[in-house]
Amino acid sequence: MYKKIVVAIDGSDHSFLAAEHAIQLAKLQPETHIEGIQVLDYEKTKADVLHSSDSIQLQSNDEKLQRFRDAFEAASIPYKLIMKQGEPAPMILEHARDTKADLIIIGSRGLNPLQEVVLGSVSSRVAKRAKCSVMIVK
C-alpha cells in the first residue's frame, strides 16, 4: 500500500509516536521505505536557546535523532534521516512531493506549543496542503 513514508521528526514525543506508526506500517509491507525528515528552523532555535532554562531542551540534534535511529534499527526497517533548513510545514511538503511519498506521518504536537496556538500547527498545515495521504498521530 505505502512504498514511501515520510515521517516528520522534531525530537518531540509526538514525533516519536509518528515514527513508531511508520515502523508498524513498514512491518506490514516489507518493501516500504521510511524517510525521517527533521527541519531546522534556525530563527526558532536561536530564540529557544536564548529563552530556555531547561537543559533537556538544549540537547543536540544528534542526541534527539538517536532515539529514532535506535527504533528503526531495532525494527530492522530500512530508513533514511534527512535534515533540512527552513520553515517546517513547507519543507516537509516539498520533500514529500520531491520524493513521491505515498504517506506523510506527523505528530499532532511538536516542541513549540506557543507557535501552534499563534500560527496554527505544522501538522494542520501539512494536512491541508499535502498531495498525498497524511496521518496525524496523537
Q: Which residue has the higher pLDDT, 60 or 53?
A: 60
| pLDDT for residue 65 | 87
| pLDDT for residue 121 | 87
- C-alpha cell of residue 106: 506527523
Rounded to two decimals, what is the model's pTM? 0.83
Sketch out the chain's domains with CATH numbers: 4-136 (3.40.50.620)
pLDDT bracket for residue 110 (50, 70, 90): low
CB–CB of 8/106 below 8 Å? yes
| pLDDT for residue 102 | 97
pLDDT bracket for residue 44 (50, 70, 90): low
